[in-house]
A and B are shown apart, each in its own frame.
Chain A
Amino acid sequence: MTLRGVCAVIGVEWSKLGAQLKTRLVLAACAAGPFVFAVAMRVQSNVPADTLFGRSMTESGLAVPLVVLGFAALWVFPLVASVVGGDLFSAEDRYGTWATLLTRSRTRAELFAGKVLIALGFSLLAVLVLASSSLAAGLLVIGGQPLIDLSGVLRPPDQAVARVTLAWASVLPSAVGFTALAVLASVATRSSAAGIGLPVVIALTMQLYALVDGPEAIRRSLITSGFGAWHGLLAEPSYYGPIADGAIVSGLYLAVCLAIAYRMLQHRDIGG
């Protein structure tokens, strides 16, 4: 496997992604969705009171990215994390293009690495677009007033912006973990529907488990726990244990899922 080979795969996959309507729609939704949400909150009096920071939405625009973050954890992150990763490998099965790909001077390892890096890159890009758009929507539509945090402390705007940014950064490991899960589902099932749908179903199941007062060890080993680890950043004193825990768990999912997916791809009998 050479770096040049991996870069060549990344270049081809990136141009394929750019031509797909699906990826453009996802990025457009990530960019426009928070603005629609913030405007809707601005023009009516009801607030999403059952969500953390929901009551503060009309008082500070800096609550908007945190409310969006809370909503996105349910199914948006698993979906945007798997929309590309869950399709990259199975699309070759669907179109019957594996044999064509492998007759080029690229090894399976290079193809795997290039495709995985593209999937991870797209997931991170989608989360980045959603984060930037949520913050911009809050500031532009509602305003940059101070924010009351989860310990009742009034955070000045600059401090709140820093915490909001860190909160969004804290979900990146879990998004990466879900992308690895989607890659595995895509390779194992050879179906794009399963590659994209299975991670979302697994995420919803994990979220349901988190509602139950079950063993703490199991809750902490769920990849979705990392999506809520940011709460500690908005408390006083702040606590970072759940973020570290989420990163370790996501790292384990990443390593195990990619190792299994790579092994399956290496041992697959692909006929011309």
Chain B
Amino acid sequence: MRRSFARRVAGGVLASSAALVLGGCGQSPITPARIEPALEATFANLVELQVSRLRLPPIAAPDFAVTAICRKQLAGANAGAGDWTCSLVWQGPNRQTVRDTYDLFVATDGCYTATVTGESLGGPILKASDGSDVRNLLYTFEGCFDTM
């Protein structure tokens, strides 16, 4: 009786382990299809917040119509953790089309740090319309996406 219970427990443990391992096999889940929507949404939310902090007229995040195209910096498979470059095209507060490029470091758990290349979005600190210093939320920011 005890042996049969032990076998059942061992069988359950093996089956659960196998399901977990097999469920996670295959190509890396870190792909442009996951990075791009996450980056677009986070960037749009941060622009909305930045506009508000700079005391400019409010604009809703979807109005920025952000589109991202990401590719891995190393040649080879366009998937996996590491360094990525993402080009963002969006509608600025004056309805002009803006293009920015970000360098991303994406960790294996789907969390990334994005740093803008060039000075198009200003430095780490910006001046608000009332003269106060404001952290530039778009200079470097972090985000995470689901890898499962």
B109 CB contact (under 8 Å) in A148, A151, A231: A231
In the assembled complex, the Cα of A150 lies from the Cα of B38 at a distance in Å of 10
B144:A249 contact, CB within 8 angstroms: no
In the assembled complex, the Cα of A152 lies from the Cα of B144 at a distance in Å of 10
> B135 an interface residue at 8 Å Cβ cutoff?
yes
Q: Chain B residue with minimal CB distance to A152?
A: B45
Give the interface of B toward A (CB within 8 A).
Answer: 9, 13, 16-17, 20-26, 28-29, 38, 41-46, 48-49, 80-82, 107-111, 135, 137, 140-148
A150 CB contact (under 8 Å) in B21, B23, B80, B142: B142
A239:B140 contact, CB within 8 angstroms: no
Please name 5 further chain A to chain B contacts, defined as beta carbons within 8 Å, in addition to the given A216-B147, A221-B21, sorted by A numbering.
A152-B44, A152-B137, A153-B45, A213-B80, A219-B109
In the assembled complex, the Cα of A59 lies from the Cα of B137 at a distance in Å of 12
Q: Chain B residue with minimal CB distance to A211?
A: B108
Q: Given contacts A52-B142, A221-B21, A232-B144, is CB(A154)–CB(B49) below 8 Å?
A: yes
**A-B contact count, CB below 8 Å?**
109
Most buried by A among B13, B109, B137, B140: B109
B13 CB contact (under 8 Å) in A150, A232, A252: A252
Which 7 pairs show the lowest CB-CB distances between chains A and B? Answer: A152-B45, A217-B24, A241-B148, A152-B46, A239-B146, A231-B144, A213-B81
A232 CB contact (under 8 Å) in B25, B108, B146: B146
> A129 an interface residue at 8 Å Cβ cutoff?
no
Q: Given contacts A220-B24, A248-B16, is CB(A55)–CB(B144) below 8 Å?
A: no
Q: Chain B residue with minimal CB distance to A209?
A: B108
- What residues on A are CB-neighbors of B46 within 8 Å? 148, 152
B20:A221 contact, CB within 8 angstroms: yes
In the assembled complex, the Cα of A245 lies from the Cα of B147 at a distance in Å of 12
Q: How large is the interface on A (under 10, 10 to 19, 20 to 34, 35 or more residues)?
A: 35 or more
* Interface residue SS majority, chain A: helix
Write the A213-240 contact mask toward B (1 if CB under 8 angstroms, else 0).
Answer: 1111111110001001001101110010
Within 8 A of B (CB), among A228-269: 228, 231-232, 234-236, 239, 241-242, 245, 248-249, 252, 255-256, 259
B64 CB to closest chain A CB, in angstroms? 11
> A210 an interface residue at 8 Å Cβ cutoff?
yes
- What residues on A are CB-neighbors of B107 within 8 Å? 210-211
- What residues on B are CB-neighbors of A214 within 8 Å? 108
A245 CB contact (under 8 Å) in B45, B48, B148: B148
A259:B9 contact, CB within 8 angstroms: yes
In the assembled complex, the Cα of A170 lies from the Cα of B42 at a distance in Å of 24
A150:B143 contact, CB within 8 angstroms: yes
In the assembled complex, the Cα of A151 lies from the Cα of B46 at a distance in Å of 8
A–B complex contacts, Cβ < 8 Å, 7 sampled: A151-B41, A152-B137, A213-B80, A220-B24, A236-B41, A239-B146, A241-B148
In the assembled complex, the Cα of A242 lies from the Cα of B146 at a distance in Å of 8
In the assembled complex, the Cα of A238 lies from the Cα of B46 at a distance in Å of 17
A241:B146 contact, CB within 8 angstroms: yes
In the assembled complex, the Cα of A234 lies from the Cα of B44 at a distance in Å of 17
In the assembled complex, the Cα of A256 lies from the Cα of B25 at a distance in Å of 23
In the assembled complex, the Cα of A159 lies from the Cα of B48 at a distance in Å of 20
- What residues on B are CB-neighbors of A49 within 8 Å? 140
B108:A152 contact, CB within 8 angstroms: no
B143:A152 contact, CB within 8 angstroms: yes
B19 CB to closest chain A CB, in angstroms? 9
> A212 an interface residue at 8 Å Cβ cutoff?
yes
A55:B13 contact, CB within 8 angstroms: no
B28:A213 contact, CB within 8 angstroms: yes
- What residues on B are CB-neighbors of A245 within 8 Å? 20, 148
